[in-house]
Amino acid sequence: DPFTDNTIGMTSSGSLFYTRSAGGMPHQFLIHRNPAQGEAPLAFIGQGASWSPDGRSLAFIKPSATGAPELIVRSVDTGEERSHRHPGLPIVSPRWLHDGSGVIVQINTQVDGRQTSAFHFVDVRTGTFRRLFDRDTNGRARTGVGTVSPDDKTLYLGVRNNPGGPITGIVGVDLATGVERPVLTLPGTG
């Protein structure tokens, strides 16, 4: 049979890694770094997984029974999954705060027939969503995925001068105030 899956790459020892579609739903796979002989990966439906700082939980996006995406926090030890729902949750990887108290997600809404996006903090213990700030500002588009600073005070995002255009720089946005500061401007057109 011809190989029809998508190749990721091959290791120096000759192991081939590839993706395979099965059942039309995105899956996440977990396996130990040095698996025991015959150990099979743990597979579950979802995508955009992000490890908690303590390595004991995963936050990811999964389609609900209605098809709407929901935030899932899965215990690696027990397999228990807690669902946190909010209208407009896109399939964008959540970002953990280093203290493990919650994740940052993007929420999309329609305002006057136009889609807008904002970042929200989700308390993973209570499931409470708290709006932080708009994704885009000053006529520029910021990326939907970023990195949280080690002190949990800043979200670093790419910025584009034109929606859909190349990234022209990196900004830091204060999680408490939404105030943006430039970190890096890329030379040329991005």
- Band (44; pLDDT cuts 50, 70, 90): confident
pTM of the model: 0.81
Chain segment 64-121, per-residue pLDDT in tens? 888 789 999 999 889 899 999 999 999 899 999 999 999 999 999 988 888 889 999 9
How many other β-carbons are positioned within 10 Å of the β-carbon of residue 157?
22
| Per-residue DSSP letter, 171 | E
pLDDT digit string (tens) for 125-171?
A: 999 999 999 999 888 899 988 999 999 999 999 999 887 889 999 99
Determine the pLDDT at residue 38: 84
Confidence category of residue 2, pLDDT binned at 50, 70, 90: low
- Contact yes or no for 9/17 (Cβ under 8 A): yes
DSSP secondary-structure letter at 100? S
Burial code (b: 16+ CB inside 10 Å, e: under 16) for 127-153 equals eebeebbebbeeebbbbbebebeeebe
Residue 11, C-beta contacts closer than 8 angstroms, at least 6 positions apart: 17
